[in-house]
Chain A
Amino acid sequence: MHRFANPARFLKIARPLTGWLFWPGLALLLAGCACGLWLTPADYLQGQTVRILYIHVPAAWLGMGGWTGIAIAALMQLVWRHPLAAVAGRAIAAPGALFTAICLATGSIWGRPTWGTWWEWDGRMTSMLVLLFLYLGYIALANASARQGAGQGGVSNVTAIFGLVGAVNIPIINRSVVWWNSLHQGPSITMRGSSIDMAILWPLGLTLLGFTLWFGAIVLMRMRAILAQNKVEARMQRLARG
């Protein structure tokens, strides 16, 4: 992993990889959405609203996956002092927050016709809302520490510790539907298989892969932007010193 600690070496790989992730990701997620909207049958119980599954599940997956990424980056920053880990953590935060917000919004829209309510303060929805607040807190802390010049465009150690501690919410979100009574259905996709019929399930693979590739491309774009801004700032400081 330390082979990529050099920003120049990282950028050599990140520049072509951004496009390789972005365009196939976009194609896959659009194909998945189109298949989910027009090729799959309506559910016998939920009717047409089951089609929200193809965007709601990837959004939940990436909202939680994003914070897991932040926690791993924080660990690498604090333990191994990897210089790009702090930049990666900061780059993950915005798309992670976006997907958490999308998960909450699409879940609420799905809840109205299915449960008869837009919102319920149960374990799953509340813990997901807490995740959104954690993202907003992390973004605020990361921006403040970047402005103060901590971590060369990355995040301060305090922000990294916040990222690491916030990871405690991830297993809570995952197990919330098992631990507490909830309007939200229990886990329908597990390591042992899925309780969803294959006729409905298959486009979810396309959107999951598509959104994941897209997420990777956005993280790379934001890392490249932070590294370029660092370069400009360092040069300006050198010029100012004469």
Chain B
Amino acid sequence: MQQWTFVIAAYAVTLLGTAAVSWLSWRTMRRAEAQAEQLAEHP
């Protein structure tokens, strides 16, 4: 296999992993904070 194939595979794994955790963490935070705000406004 070409050396660049290994390089691209390593970068793809890293960028996909970091993007997935960024998105999941941001979504969990937004949902939780929105729910907390909603409960504070309309208990």
Interface residues of A, Cβ cutoff 8 Å to B? 22, 29, 33, 37, 47-49, 51-52, 55-56, 59, 94-95, 98, 101-102, 105-106, 109-110, 112-113, 211, 214, 218, 221-222, 224-226, 228-229, 231-232, 235-236, 239
Query: What's the nearest-Cβ distance from chain A to residue B24, in Å?
Result: 8
- Ranked 5 nearest A-B pairs via Cβ: A228-B32, A48-B3, A225-B29, A228-B36, A221-B25
Interface size counted on chain B using CB atoms at 8 A? 27
Cα distance A224–B34 in the bound complex, in angstroms: 11
The CA-CA distance from A29 to B36 in the complex, in Å, is: 33
Give chain B residues whose Cβ lies under 8 Å from the Cβ of A239. 43
| Cβ-neighbour of A106 out of B14, B25, B26 (below 8 A) | B14
Interface majority SS (helix, strand, loop, mixed), chain A: helix
**CB contact list, B6-42 vs A, under 8 A:** 6-7, 9-11, 13-15, 17-18, 21-22, 25-26, 28-29, 31-33, 35-36, 39-40
Q: A48-B3, A232-B39 are in contact. Are A224 and B33 (CB under 8 A)?
A: yes
Residues of B within 8 A of A (CB): 1, 3-4, 6-7, 9-11, 13-15, 17-18, 21-22, 25-26, 28-29, 31-33, 35-36, 39-40, 43
User: CB-nearest residue of chain B relative to A18?
Assistant: B29
A106 contact set on B, CB distance < 8 A: 10, 13-14
